[in-house]
Amino acid sequence: MKTLKDIKFIAIAGAGTMGAGIAQICAAAGYTTILYDINEGAIQNGLAIITKNLDGAVDRGKMTQDQKSNILSGIKTTTDPEEVKADLIIEAVLEKLDVKKQLFATLAAVNGPDTILATNTSSIPVTQIAYGIPSPERVVGMHFFNPPHIMKLVEVVSGASTNEGIAYTIKELAEKLGKTAVMAKDSPGFIVNRVARHYYVEALKILEENVTDLETIDELMELSGFKMGPFKLMDLIGVDTNFEVTSSIYNQFQQDGKFRPSRIQKQKVDAGFHGKKTGKGFYNYQ
C-alpha cells in the first residue's frame, strides 16, 4: 500500500476546468504531473486555464515568473492512455458512472495494482465506481471544489471497499497540497453537495413559481451573508454539472421530491447555456 512518501508521480485524467486546476496545484506542490485527455484540444484548453490562473497570481504578486515557469514545466501532457503511469491517478471526467468506470478500467490495465485511483466525483457513489475495478480497495473519492486552485476544501470519501490506509494517505496528500481535508462515508452527495443541494433547488423552485426574479434571489442571499447567490454559483460551477449532481442525488434518494431537478435548469442545459464556461447561463457573460 502506498503512503504519502511513495507518491512522486500524479496523473490527472480529464483536462477540463477541474482537471486543469487539480493539475496546477499538484505541479505547484512539486509533483511530476501528467495531464491526460483523449482530446488534444481539451488539453490545450486546460493548459490555457492553468496559464491564466498563474498569470493572475503573478499580477497579484503571489507568484514570480520563475515559479510560474516551474509549474508549467512540471506538467506533462498526453492523449495516450498507455503513457498514463503514475503513483496516483485522479480522474476529473464527466459525471457519468460508465465513463468513470471505463476510464479506471483502462488505466488500471497500464498501472500496477498499488496505483491509487482517486475519483473527483461530486455525487456518484465511490462504491459503484470501484465495483469491477482490479484491486477496488485502492479506489477512493478525492472531491475538490471549483475552482480547485482556490477552494480549500477536499472531501476524502471511502467506499465500501476502500482501504482505510489509502483514504488517510489521500487526506495527507490533500493537506500537503494546501487543502483542508475532511473524511466522509460513501453516501448521496457526500457532505457538501447534500447540504448545499437545497441552496440551488429551493432557489430554482422560487424562480419556477415566479415569486421573484433570479437577480433578486441572488442579491438577497448575498445580503444574507453568502459570498455568491445560487444562480451566480451555478454559472460558476457549470449549470450542466450542477444539474447532473442534482439528478444523481435525486435518483439515489429514490426520487424524493425535495431533491427534484428543475425544468428551468434542464432547459438551460439543453440549450447549451452552461454558465461562464460557455459564455451564457442564468447570466450572459459574452
* Closest to 145 in 3D by CA, of 121, 114, 176, 118: 121
* Closest to 35 in 3D by CA, of 48, 61, 105: 48
Q: So what's the pLDDT on residue 90?
A: 98
CATH number of 4-185: 3.40.50.720
Q: So what's the pLDDT on residue 178?
A: 97
pLDDT class for 59, splitting at 50, 70, 90? very high
* Annotated catalytic residue, options 143, 247, 248, 262: 143
| 210 annotated active-site | no
Q: So what's the pLDDT on residue 134?
A: 96
The tens digit of pLDDT for each residue in 212-234 reads: 999 999 999 999 999 999 999 99
* Annotated catalytic residue, options 95, 155, 244, 274: 155
* Annotated catalytic residue, options 111, 123, 193, 242: 193
| 274 annotated active-site | no
Q: So what's the pLDDT on residue 213?
A: 97
Which CATH number applies to 194-278: 1.10.1040.50, 3.40.630.10, 3.30.450.40, 3.30.230.10?
1.10.1040.50
- What are the boundaries of each domain within the chain? 4-185, 194-278
Mean pLDDT over the full length of the chain: 96
What percent of the chain has pLDDT above 70?
100
* Annotated catalytic residue, options 122, 158, 247, 262: 122
| 198 annotated active-site | no
| 155 annotated active-site | yes
- Locate 198 and state its grid cell: 437545497
